[in-house]
Structure 1
């Protein structure tokens, strides 16, 4: 299952996930793995993966993928057509990049690459519990979510395109007590 998950207001206390959008790349009986799409870092991709830097989108920085395995790096790429070597489909045109592959094998196929330090992970049943508590809204991911040039505005953008009550939630202030 690959989908975007957006946090419900005040449902999670961990600031990592406050107003975040997480692309869940894998979800099965053993747990779930995803990356936070809304947290660009300050380190240029060129400083950690120089050979991949020319394929990254704007902003060309490594993103904070989540609080797990902060010593690891992974990358997602949008591939509009085909299945190039060095890329494994997650959903639609979004897939995981084999960072050991030479970038040249993907250069002509990808629309862009996004690099993440760390990831978000849930043990068996943990994400299901959080969903039952109403901590997350599950919505369909779009390829543009991965490569947005406005990642800090993605939470509002994803909710707004849902329409209805979720669309209205996009206008919810950061601190409702100030309203």
Structure 2
């Protein structure tokens, strides 16, 4: 388990976090600054809204499921796209995440105002998120101190996981030691 918040790392909700916005969520950290706060997107909350309904020109480029993901409770009327590109490429309309981890070295944000044609054939995978998760300076650190989040390393497939509903358990299951056992925690611990 990693010890500090970092761009490209994952925040995994602990079973005690019962905020409906983050319950059993897996958040990819996109920006982190001790003075400015933290920004990320929830990776495991697909919505019922198809990309075609909102951004039809990007629909063909989205990795399944072809829906908007609920990136978090902040600015839910805005969209943010993440895309992976083949190694060594930096196409127009795509900006690399500034992270030192191999898991996100090919990951970046997509300018959704750019014409999709300039990225056609240039990206390997893409997902679009409505809204994002954000914390002011010190807020996330306080939540971690209260036991609301685990900080773990991301793996290359996490952002575009084939079954978003099972990502929380999958991320926890691959951790070492006692943290792997948390994956077996029932949805309602009081029913245990």
TM range (shorter): over 0.9
Greater strand proportion? 1
Deviations 1:58-115 (A, max 9, x none): 1100011110001111110111321111111114111111111122222222111101
Q: Deviations over 1:111-139 (max 9, x none)?
A: 11101111100011111111222211111
Of residues 12, 28, 31, the one that matches 1:26 is 31
Choose from 65, 76, 87 the match for 1:70: 76
**Number of residue pairs the alignment of both structures matches:** 178
Which residue of structure 2 aligns with residue 84 of structure 1? 91
> Quick one: which of 159, 173, 179 aligns to 1:160?
173
Find the aligned partners of 1:161 and 1:110 in 2 and give their Cα distance: 27
| TM-score of the two chains, using structure 1 as the length reference | 0.95
Q: Is 1:150 aligned with 2:163?
A: yes
Local SS of the residue matching 2:184: coil
Which sections of structure 2, spanning at least 5 residues, go unmatched? Answer: 1-6, 98-103
Gaps of 5+ in 1: none
The CA distance in 2 between the partners of 1:25 and 1:116, in whole Å, is: 13
Using the TM superposition, give the Cα deviation of residue 164 of structure 1 relative to its aligned residue in structure 2, in angstroms: 1.7
**1:126 has 2:161 as partner:** no
Which stretch shows the higher mean deviation, 106-115 or 53-62? 106-115
SS of equivalent to 2:159: helix
Matches of 1:114 and 1:78, distance apart in 2: 9
